[in-house]
Structure 1
Amino acid sequence: MASHDTDLSAATWRKSSYSNGTGGECVEIADGLPDVVPVRDSKTTDGPAVVFPATAWTPFVTAVTKGDLSL
């Protein structure tokens, strides 16, 4: 599991290509951090980030893309 105290002060964030353009459902991902993938709400950039272990990120994105996750 990723540490809750991961330093994200130097993170470079990018908006997900799956974010919509109407101001809702917007997430940003920080690339290039060793072993973790931080995700945050792009409307609240000073808010918290969820930090996923990098080993869990690819299977998560694959499941979302395939529609394998249900609400």
Structure 2
Amino acid sequence: MEAKKFYEIYLDIKNPFPHQLQFFHLALNDKFPILVKAPTGSGKTEMAIVLLDKNQIETGTEC
């Protein structure tokens, strides 16, 4: 699934920040550890949801 589509469908974020999009691709490609430094209110918590939904994103199935 495309990063922007995921954020819009599952998190109701129509315009994700660039660091959210980069995190999405790194997480889906198992490029760990990932260190994110971003201001308060810039969607760091929402990025963690990507990890929780990783299996659903990869397989297209419901959790």
Q: TM-score, normalised by structure 1?
A: 0.28
Q: Quick one: higher RCO (CA 8 Å, sep 6+), 1 or 2?
A: 2
Which has the larger share of strand?
1
**Structure ID, larger Rg:** 1
